[in-house]
Amino acid sequence: MKASNKITNTMAVNSHVQEGLHYDDLKIAKIMMVDDEPIMLDIVQALLEEGGYCNFIKVEHSSKAMMRLLNSKPDILLLDLDMPEVNGFDLLKAVRQQEDYQFLPVIILTASEEPGNKLKALEMGATDFLSKPVDPSELVLRIRNTLAAKAYQDQLAYYDNLTGLPNRKLFIDHLNRGIDMAKRDNKPLALLDVGLDRFRQINETLGLYTGDIILKLVAQRLTEVIRSYDVVGHADTMKQMESMARLGADEFSIVLCGVNSVENASSICKRVLDVIKMPFIVNGTEIFLTANIGISVYPHDGEEIESLIKHAGSAKDFAKNNGTDNYQYYSSDMNTRTRALLKMESDLRKAVKNEEFELYYQPKVNSDSGKVMGMECLLRWIHPDEGFISPDDFIHIAENMGLIVSIGEWVLKQACKQTREWVDAGHSELKLSVNVSPRQFADAGLKASIESALSYSGLDPKHLVLEITESMLMGNVDHFVSLLMDIKNLGVSFSLDDFGTGYSSLSYLKRFPIDELKIDRSFLTDVPASKDDNSIVRAIIAMAHSLGQKVVAEGVEHTEQLEFLRQHNCDIIQGYYFSKPLDSTGFLAYLSNDK
């Protein structure tokens, strides 16, 4: 265990990953000596220097000792008893009355022959007692052992056992120092609150042991990001390694001192999000994670530690409600927006009860024949006061609330029933695509709810396509492969939606039983004008075809886009070019015209 981390305020922490105790790490401890005889101070210093120590505070006038102690925050105090101004007992008593110094190691060094003194000093809280003249080896060893014991206690009290990062207590200490420095240097400080998404899901599916390994790896990756930031030289005096902490099960905090600009913190946030998105490999299994970060800046968002922490937390919650893999600066109107969000949450609950949802259908058209192959079912919320609310504005909230599970069940049931009617009416080849949220995949009841929608509607499973997104692949890949296989065995197929916007690992494309790939709209907007986008789209089509998957282009609005996609053998087109999403009456009319 790296027990020396807290040993001095100036010490750089080399690694937060717990290692063995190195006595050498203790050598930079700050040693304060109080003795009225200057020669004694010099002798003890010389002996300790020989033992490798280098950081001393020597005090000859005991009346000044308390002030020096409070200012210099030593790691250990060597105290004489017989002193003319304030004697050692009184000083010891005063030290012990200070909350922060109740447990500071104090070694009494005295020439006093008085037999009761030793006991009295120990009773008053002295850690050890040495008689002058001191034996040099004994002095060095006693100091080493006392410092080691203190370091071990500090490790337990100030560091997170699992990751070796500072815990909340030490973090508050660091943040306070950071704020002092920011005040002094007149430079802002940024506080980052990093929350992992759906970590509970990882613990539940893979077990706590694997969860622990991942948390350690996350801590390592964050440490590396912060370390490289330090090397780049953006950080000032405060060691960045000391400025990270683990505050909760899946919550980390980072203090960035001397941030020169808002962009500075933004670039760190992007790097943090990027390293968390890289797959974690535990026992040969790839595991995917994302995070959200809230940022508060001193002094702009608060001058006190409490308000900075609170505001970074609100910003993180805000980021989370806007999706995964985001960072967000605190802003004062966030409180208003948070209230609006709370209202939206309560309205959403009512919406489920009152069935305020409606389903729209957007045609998916064969690029060669122009025939409607099927339709994507898109959810609409008709709010009693606000009217139409876009799914982009409420799906994430429903996901965070867990409400998406029951909403999703309703969507599946209604859409399957509707499709059955259209199939029965003669549109026998129609394929219904339904969006399934990652949150639904985390729910054990998903397969049963698909089965129940199919049996309720009597729809043949071959008509049902489930649209999933790359972000679903969070967590354990093996687990999802078998979950998808299991559901696919019902006879339904899978489509990978918004392809290219998430963590596009080609390895999972091969492993997941995906029948269709939807190129995200963002790649198609500038096709065919943008050469880069043209190449990307061509590459995606070629890759999907080589894996035996059909390709859908989303968001096609213009003839030029359509021509390009046809030329490059894209199979299916969806977009305003053919039709906006339509209500069921509108869609049936569209189908009838298509015949």
Judged by beta carbon, residue 242 or residue 498, the one nearer Mg ion is 498
The residue range among 78-86, 176-184, 269-277, 389-397 that interacts with ligand C2E, by the rule CB under 6 A, is 389-397
Pairing status of strand 285-288 against strand 128-131:
unpaired
Q: From CA 123, how far away is CA 262, in angstroms rounded?
A: 54
Let me know how long the chain is: 595
Q: By CB under 5 A, which span of 120-128, 352-360, 453-461, 550-558 interacts with Mg ion?
A: 550-558
Q: Which does 219 bind (CB under 5 to 8 A by kind): Mg ion, ligand C2E, none?
A: none
Residue 28 in contact with residue 8, Cβ under 8 Å?
yes
395 binds ligand C2E (CB under 6 A): yes
- Is there binding between residue 301 and ligand C2E (CB under 6 A)? no
Smaller CB separation from ligand C2E, 69 or 379 = 379
Query: Do 357 and 412 touch, CB atoms closer than 8 A?
Result: no
195 belongs to the binding site for ligand C2E (CB under 6 A): no
Q: Which is nearer to ligand C2E, 245 or 527 (CB)?
A: 527
Residue 502's binding partner among ligand C2E, Mg ion, none (Cβ under 5 to 8 angstroms by kind) is none
Q: Please, what is the angle between helix 305-321 and helix 391-401, to 10°?
A: 110
Residues β-bridged to residue 298? 189
Taking CB under 5 A as the criterion, the residue among 236, 317, 498, 516 binding Mg ion is: 498
Minimum CB separation of residue 435 from ligand C2E in Å reads 4
d(CA 465, CA 434): 6
Binding string to ligand C2E for residues 324 to 363, with x set by CB under 6 A, is what? --------------------------------------x-
Q: Can you list the pairs that 366-370 forms with residues at least 24 positions away whose Cβ atoms lie under 8 Å?
A: 366/571, 366/572, 366/573, 367/553, 367/562, 367/565, 367/566, 367/570, 367/571, 367/572, 367/573, 368/566
Q: Which two tokens stand for residue 144?
A: 């080493």
Which range binds ligand C2E by CB under 6 A, 321-329, 339-347, 416-424, 575-583?
575-583
Using alpha carbons, select from 80, 100, 84 the residue that is nearest to residue 92: 80
Q: Which residues contact 594 (CB under 8 A, 6 or more apart)?
A: 363, 371, 372
Q: Which does 258 bind (CB under 5 to 8 A by kind): ligand C2E, Mg ion, none?
A: none
- Taking contact as CB under 6 A, which single stretch among the options 64-72, 140-148, 424-432, 549-557 is the one that binds ligand C2E? 549-557
**Which residue's CB is nearer to ligand C2E, number 50 or number 563?**
563
Figure out which of the listed residues 82, 128, 557, 594 binds ligand C2E, where binding follows CB under 6 A.
Answer: 557
Using an 8 Å Cβ cutoff, are 527 and 533 in contact? Answer: yes
Give the side-chain half-sphere CA count within 13 A for 319: 28
Binding to ligand C2E in span 462-521, by CB under 6 A: 467, 497-498
User: Can residue 522 be called a binding residue for ligand C2E (CB under 6 A)?
Assistant: no
Region binding ligand C2E by CB under 6 A among candidate stretches 215-223, 253-261, 367-375, 552-560: 552-560
Q: What does the angle CA 8 – CA 10 – CA 11 come to, to the nearest 5 degrees? A: 70
192 or 395: CB nearest ligand C2E: 395
User: Which option in ligand C2E, Mg ion, none does residue 555 bind, with CB closer than 5 to 8 A by kind?
Assistant: ligand C2E
Q: How far apart are CA 333 and CA 446, in angstroms?
A: 38
Residue 392 interacts with which of Mg ion, ligand C2E, none, CB < 5 to 8 Å by class = ligand C2E
Angle of CA points 276, 281, 286, to nearest 5°: 90
- Exactly one of 435, 476, 495, 549 binds ligand C2E (CB under 6 A); that residue is 435
Name which position in 467, 470, 516, 571 contacts Mg ion (CB under 5 A): 467
Window contacting ligand C2E (CB under 6 A); options: 25-33, 81-89, 445-453, 569-577: 569-577
103 binds ligand C2E (CB under 6 A): no
Query: Residue 203 CB, nearest distance to ligand C2E (Å)?
Result: 24
Closer residue to Mg ion (CB): 279 or 500:
500
Would you count residue 409 as binding ligand C2E (CB under 6 A)?
no
469 belongs to the binding site for Mg ion (CB under 5 A): no
36: CB partners within 8 A, 6+ apart = 60, 61, 62, 80, 82, 83, 84, 85
- What separation in angstroms does the CA of 364 have from each of 380, 550, 577, 594? 19, 12, 11, 12
Task: Please report whether residue 136 would count as binding ligand C2E according to CB under 6 A.
Answer: no
Dihedral, 127, 128, 133, 134 alpha carbons, nearest 10:
-100
CA 74 to chain centre: 35
Site for ligand C2E (CB under 6 A): which residue of 125, 391, 461, 586? 391
Cβ-based nearer residue to ligand C2E, 107 or 412: 412
Residue 245: closest CA among 312, 319, 197, 307: 312
Contact 318, 328 (CB under 8 A): yes
Measured distance CA(212)–CA(580) in Å, rounded = 47
Q: Figure out which of the listed residues 411, 466, 527, 562 binds ligand C2E, where binding follows CB under 6 A.
A: 411
CB of 533 to ligand C2E, least distance (A): 16
Contact with ligand C2E (CB under 6 A) among 98, 390, 567, 592: 390
- Closest approach of Cβ 553 to Mg ion, in Å? 10
**Element holding 293 (H helix, E strand):** strand 291-298
Return the ∠ at Cα 45 (arms to 40 and 48), rounded to 5°. 130
Residue 412 interacting with ligand C2E (CB under 6 A): no
Give the residue, chosen from 435, 437, 561, 574, that forms a contact with Mg ion under the rule CB under 5 A: 435
Minimum distance between the CB of residue 423 and ligand C2E, rounded to whole angstroms?
A: 20
Query: Does 552 interact with ligand C2E (rule: CB under 6 A)?
Result: no
Tokens linked to 438: 């990652």
Quick one: 217 or 582, whose CB is closer to ligand C2E? 582
Closest CA to 374 of 527, 498, 515: 515
Counts of helices then strands in the chain (DSSP H, E): 21, 22
Contact residues for Mg ion, defined by CB under 5 A: 435, 467, 497-498, 554
Contact residues for ligand C2E, defined by CB under 6 A: 362, 378-379, 390-392, 395, 404, 408, 411, 435, 437, 467, 497-498, 554-557, 574-576, 581
